[in-house]
A and B are shown apart, each in its own frame.
Chain A
Amino acid sequence: GAVVSQHPSWVICKSGTSVKIECRSLDFQATTMFWYRQFPKQSLMLMATSNEGSKATYEQGVEKDKFLINHASLTLSTLTVTSAHPEDSSFYICSARVSSVSIFGPGTRLTVL
């Protein structure tokens, strides 16, 4: 079946550094991918919709300069958390759609010290 992978699965970084998270669709092409953020014991909140070959669409309240999204190919979208701060520590999950079903990546846990 369709699989979405993420890399890295866990990253610890110092405050002020930037972190790039990759989301790949395996065995299928995804013109659109979605980035979510999840705090402990909470639900997923959509951050942005990543569109291949064009600019991402950000949800209200999400800083586009803070969370840079690049969807350079039909199988890869990247999320870069720039100048990360401890409050950016969270679980970041991407997904791609196959028909109406969302296939989620395994998530990336970001810890900013």
Chain B
Amino acid sequence: SQQGEEDPQALSIQEGENATMNCSYKTSINNLQWYRQNSGRGLVHLILIRSNEREKHSGRLRVTLDTSKKSSSLLITASRAADTASYFCAAQTGANNLFFGTGTRLTVIP
């Protein structure tokens, strides 16, 4: 399977703290994407980082990519209760191939 791995599987933090999630993948990629999923809902695209980029920011999100280690991290700063969700990384390896990680369930305690 080319599915990526994410850690931690679950993360519980206090509101205001930062949350860091890590993702590892197995093959060469075109880009690495992060998605968010609220319970029982579809996925929402958060951010995309291309294989030639090392870091990207979007609001309170910061994504890093290390292609030599085949890993990426998502940092959410100043977390809010509304950030509670599952977060998935997805590695795009070709025109149509998008492989999802196992996901991190984030709980932000008010």
Residues in A lying within 8 Å of B, measured CB to CB: 4, 6, 32, 34, 41-46, 49, 91, 93, 95, 100-107, 109
Residue of A nearest to B92 (CB): A100
Instruction: State the Cβ distance, A32 to closest chain B Cβ, in Å.
Output: 7
Contact of B98 among A6, A34, A93 (CB under 8 A): A34
Interface size on B, residues (CB 8 A): 24
Task: Check A93/B48 contact, CB under 8 A, given A43-B3, A100-B31.
Answer: no
Mostly, the B contact residues are strand
Instruction: State the Cβ distance, B109 to closest chain A Cβ, in Å.
Output: 20
B40 touches A91 (CB 8 A): yes
Residue of A nearest to B44 (CB): A104
- B91-109 vs A: 1/0 string, CB under 8 Å? 0100011111111010000
